[in-house]
Amino acid sequence: MPRGLFITLEGLDGSGKTTQIKRLAQWLEKHGHAVVQVRQPGGTATGDRIRAILLDSRSAPLAPITEMALMFADRAQAIAEVIQPALDAGRIVLCDRFTDSTEAYQGGGREIGSAAVLDLHRLICGNLQPDLTLLLLPGLEVSLARARRRNERVEAKSGADEGRFEAEQDAFYRRVWQKYRAIAAREPERVVLIEGDLTIDEVYEQIVEAVSERLVTSEQSA
């Protein structure tokens, strides 16, 4: 059986990833593809427990290296439990964040650097690479405002506190944003950059175009 397709969505919180990944999954299923969705951190029972530690404001202060180690522990579990089995079964995996997020947030935002992140990815994740990464980069201020409003709604509705990262200063997010752009420049064949303050439909149209092209390429090489 041919290997499935591994697609990741990346960007700052508030960039619209959650909305777009749902719409993309519906589009793919409508066109006859078997789809598996997973998010990081989280997506497994163990990962959800790690997510609670990473995102809860009460976890501060958390050493940057500890934060990165927890991200990779979550990722290793998701690969073993969800991602690799789905790819082996020929399914399309849609993953909300992957190692690009760690490189951007911990490598850039926490200033650990890219080298340590990429070394851990090779060691812990077997250097598993997405076939396609959709990087959503609206304006920094727009993303932060959306993310903070969303976390306030989630906390008011469920009591869950997932605002530890949103409490960071804008300088942190500027470093994250800049690192994302550096990743896109470094790997243009894998990363499709969708930037600017576009409407939901405009972003969706660019996503469908990029995924359609990658599906054709994948089918031709199968």
Which amino acid, 209? E
Q: Which is higher by pLDDT, 55 or 108?
A: 108
Model confidence band, residue 152 (pLDDT cutoffs 50, 70, 90): low
Mean pLDDT of 145-169: 64
Greatest pairwise CA separation for the chain in angstroms = 50
Q: Tell me which fold the domain 6-221 belongs to.
A: Rossmann fold (3.40.50)
Name which of 11, 5, 4 is nearest 203 in CA terms.
11
- pTM value? 0.90
**Domain-wise residue ranges, the chain:** 6-221
Looking up tokens 């991602």, which residue turns up?
A: 83
Model confidence band, residue 14 (pLDDT cutoffs 50, 70, 90): confident
